[in-house]
Structure 1
Amino acid sequence: MSNIFKIAVLPGDGIGPEVMKQAIKVLEKIQKYIKKKIIIDTYYIGGSAINKFDDPLPKITLNGCEKSDAILLGSVGGPEWDYLPLNKRPEKGSLLKLRKYFNLFVNLRPSFCYKNLSILSPLKEKILNKGFNIICIRELIGGIYFGLNGRKGNGKNEYAFDTETYSRFEIERIAHIAFNIALKRKKKICSIDKANVLQTSILWREVVTEISKKYKSVKLQHMYIDNAVMQLIKNPSQFDVILCPNLFGDIISDQCAVITGSIGNLPSASFNQNYFGLYEPAGGSAPDIAGKNIANPIAQILSLAMLIKFSLKEEKIYIKIKNAIQKILNLGYRTKDLSINNSKEKIVTTDDIGTLIIESI
């Protein structure tokens, strides 16, 4: 087994390079705790790659990712590239292609609320007091985003279509991942579908139910997507592991982020069958604040922490980073997006937050 671990770093667009810089600072600090030597190679992706290579996912980036042991990705996109055809824009032209190329079929997005930031959540205090710690597991390379689509006809007869398909195999493999994760948590899964309307959801429910019989200690619940978004607002504490097809997972995972109070605090991880991982923040590239040194780097740093946990198998270091973030928040340090106009707050820059986290590890 090699003593070297290679990370392909893709800073992205907007605030991406700024917050990635903070994650790399953290990585340099914790290198001494990691058994393997970390090697970082940086590549263009998204809008920055379009500007340099006229391609949101150039071959040099793809080749670099292939040679790596994990990918640390920043946010991509922005209005600068909205003039391009949809499949050439940063989001679809790089993110969807990257997911498909590496067969990253499972996406994990944790959702939790820091107690001292709970006032930022849109939820009522009595709901927040119950607490919640949810992990949303989203099937990432199937469904409507990758199905047949197009536009036909002219004038009043013009129409557009998007097709959703799911195979038994695709549902089985994501379900096994979800049940195995549930075994290490509260042994509860809520599977999301629209089985009262959609054929793909009927198959989804049937297959997930079949797989559940192999995990008898895990309690399985099915819930329609429309009810699920309501229940997340009314009582998020009822959920532990949420399993979703691609489209519904996109909706649910973003809602899970919003109820925490700030999408800027949440990471995500995507894997293939070999557990090759891509790690990225849940939020966007925020081009309106790019270059101002006020962006929140916590989600990017936590994405690095997930890489350390899942790809490097260093659980203790993952916990060190999480604890360091909690410590600086407890001390009142905030980037502007986390401000609640409290006299105890200390509003600091992107660079400052990174440095404070490093000093607390």
Structure 2
Amino acid sequence: MATRIVTLPGDGIGPEILAPTVDLLQRFVADVEVEEHVFGGASIDAHGTALTDDVLAACKRADAVLLAAVGGPKWDTTDATKPRPEQGLLGLRKGLGLYANLRPVRPLPALYDASPLRREIIDGTDLLVVRELTGGIYFGEKTRTETTASDLCAYSVEEIERIARTAFEAARKTARHKVSSVDKANVLETSRLWRQTVVALHEAEFSDVTLEHVLVDNAAMQLISNPRSFDVIVTENLFGDILSDEAAMLTGSIGMLPSASLGRRSDPPTPGLFEPVHGSAPDIAGQGVANPLAMFLSLALLLRHGLALESEALALESAVDKALDQGLRTRDLGGTASTAEATAAVLAALG
């Protein structure tokens, strides 16, 4: 049976970076069916909503979903009655039950000088941010009047346990076997429940993994001053959104960071969603200069976590590393390489 991949080009530079990624996918997976659908702002323009029921159903039938980018000033609004592209992302995560977002952060020596931090600070950094994706303030009840507004942040023990388990299991595969659980337990009741639940799970099932607790403000500082201190970071939705984007800058460009959003692993497993963490960059859309490397690395995560093709994932990641070692630099990395030239460099590195 053919492998079925749903692709969502989205907005801005999305179609430009997705097209060569699909070519790479077909190079690694011989018997693959690619099914493309509109999503995000493009779907708002076509259907009045960022995610249609038909697209969600297609994603549920897929083996994995590959998303490029969504959003742009065209659809920015503070009117709660109008659709926004980001609502498609939230709907997709909720509809597929994708509760765990994985964002690996590994600055490459070839790009140390592109980072805003000194190389001695980022040298040797290799961390994974595990962000809870379907709970917390983003999905809580929202109210708004002319003079007040509120957003409810709520978590259950079950939601905390399953994301903490994902982090502990990931840490068992690292050399350091360490989890940093990030919360705000000195202020928030949700964080106190978070810490209590993480501790209980650690004691019951993962005592072989080192566990530390870090307040979110301290974690933000440590990511800049001592990123090597982290191995696996696990945190709730809002904190994870902010910290993972901060960590992205360790690599020199947010254009270098991939992500995987995963759900149920039991039979039948939930199809994962794989996407770069950068935005749609409408200011450079259509110019052929977008950096496709985070999209390529997201494909590597799809191969690894979505299709269990570890050797193929490693081959693609190694090809990106090699191309950069050989001097590939797109505009966001201080160079002049176009999207097509970056793609050609990675293909040449694959051999």
TM range (shorter): over 0.9
1:188 aligns with 2:178: yes
The answer as to whether partners of 1:29 and 1:358 remain within 8 angstroms in 2 is no
Give the Cα–Cα distance (whole angstroms) in 2 for the partners of residues 106 and 272 of structure 1.
6
The answer as to whether partners of 2:137 and 2:237 remain within 8 angstroms in 1 is yes
87 and 109 in structure 1: CA distance in 2 versus 1, 3 angstrom threshold: farther
The answer as to whether partners of 1:76 and 1:90 remain within 8 angstroms in 2 is no
1:358 aligns with 2:351: no
Give the Cα–Cα distance (whole angstroms) in 1 for the partners of residues 325 and 118 of structure 2.
21
What residue is the counterpart of 1:85 in the other structure? 79
In the TM superposition, residue 91 of structure 1 has moved relative to its aligned partner by 3.5
Give the Cα–Cα distance (whole angstroms) in 2 for the partners of residues 99 and 226 of structure 1.
27
In the TM superposition, residue 128 of structure 1 has moved relative to its aligned partner by 2.4
Give the Cα–Cα distance (whole angstroms) in 2 for the partners of residues 87 and 205 of structure 1.
36
What residue is the counterpart of 2:150 in the other structure? 161
1:292 aligns with 2:292: no
Give the Cα–Cα distance (whole angstroms) in 1 for the partners of residues 260 and 160 of structure 2.
19
1:109 aligns with 2:103: yes
In the TM superposition, residue 216 of structure 1 has moved relative to its aligned partner by 1.3
What residue is the counterpart of 1:141 in the other structure? 134
Give the Cα–Cα distance (whole angstroms) in 2 for the partners of residues 30 and 357 of structure 1.
14
What residue is the counterpart of 1:202 in the other structure? 192
2:201 partner amino acid = I
In the TM superposition, residue 144 of structure 1 has moved relative to its aligned partner by 0.4
The answer as to whether partners of 1:19 and 1:297 remain within 8 angstroms in 2 is yes
What residue is the counterpart of 1:216 in the other structure? 207
Give the Cα–Cα distance (whole angstroms) in 2 for the partners of residues 84 and 13 of structure 1.
20
Give the Cα–Cα distance (whole angstroms) in 1 for the partners of residues 5 and 225 of structure 2.
40
**1:124 is matched with which residue: 111, 118, 125?**
118
1:263 aligns with 2:254: yes
What residue is the counterpart of 2:55 in the other structure? 61
226 and 302 in structure 1: CA distance in 2 versus 1, 3 angstrom threshold: same
What residue is the counterpart of 1:314 in the other structure? 309
Give the Cα–Cα distance (whole angstroms) in 1 for the partners of residues 165 and 27 of structure 2.
36
Secondary structure class of the residue paired with 1:61? helix
Give the Cα–Cα distance (whole angstroms) in 1 for the partners of residues 82 and 262 of structure 2.
24
Give the Cα–Cα distance (whole angstroms) in 2 for the partners of residues 88 and 358 of structure 1.
42
**1:31 is matched with which residue: 16, 26, 29?**
29
TM-score, with structure 2 as normaliser: 0.95
Amino-acid identity (%) = 43
1:326 aligns with 2:321: yes
In the TM superposition, residue 83 of structure 1 has moved relative to its aligned partner by 4.0
Give the Cα–Cα distance (whole angstroms) in 2 for the partners of residues 88 and 40 of structure 1.
31
In the TM superposition, residue 356 of structure 1 has moved relative to its aligned partner by 2.1
Segments ≥4 residues shifted beyond 4 Å: none
In the TM superposition, residue 64 of structure 1 has moved relative to its aligned partner by 1.5
TM-align CA RMSD: 1.3
What residue is the counterpart of 2:16 in the other structure? 18
In the TM superposition, residue 125 of structure 1 has moved relative to its aligned partner by 2.7
Instruction: After superposition, give the CA deviation of every residue in 1:82-115 in whole Å (9 maximum; x if it has no partner).
Output: 2473464443320001111111111000111111
Give the Cα–Cα distance (whole angstroms) in 1 for the partners of residues 82 and 297 of structure 2.
29
Give the Cα–Cα distance (whole angstroms) in 2 for the partners of residues 88 and 311 of structure 1.
34
Give the Cα–Cα distance (whole angstroms) in 2 for the partners of residues 87 and 212 of structure 1.
43
1:176 aligns with 2:165: yes
Q: How many residues align?
A: 344
In the TM superposition, residue 254 of structure 1 has moved relative to its aligned partner by 0.7
What residue is the counterpart of 1:342 in the other structure? none
147 and 26 in structure 1: CA distance in 2 versus 1, 3 angstrom threshold: same
Give the Cα–Cα distance (whole angstroms) in 2 for the partners of residues 149 and 240 of structure 1.
35
Secondary structure class of the residue paired with 1:292? coil
In the TM superposition, residue 312 of structure 1 has moved relative to its aligned partner by 0.9
Ranges in structure 1 where 5+ consecutive residues have no aligned partner:
340-344
Give the Cα–Cα distance (whole angstroms) in 2 for the partners of residues 209 and 83 of structure 1.
41
1:334 partner amino acid = R
The answer as to whether partners of 1:26 and 1:354 remain within 8 angstroms in 2 is no
Ranges in structure 2 where 5+ consecutive residues have no aligned partner:
none
Secondary structure class of the residue paired with 2:150? strand
1:95 aligns with 2:85: no
Give the Cα–Cα distance (whole angstroms) in 1 for the partners of residues 232 and 7 of structure 2.
29
In the TM superposition, residue 359 of structure 1 has moved relative to its aligned partner by 2.5
Instruction: After superposition, give the CA deviation of every residue in 1:123-171 in whole Å (9 maximum; x if it has no partner).
Output: 1232123x2011000000000000011112x4xxx11111100011110
In the TM superposition, residue 47 of structure 1 has moved relative to its aligned partner by 0.7
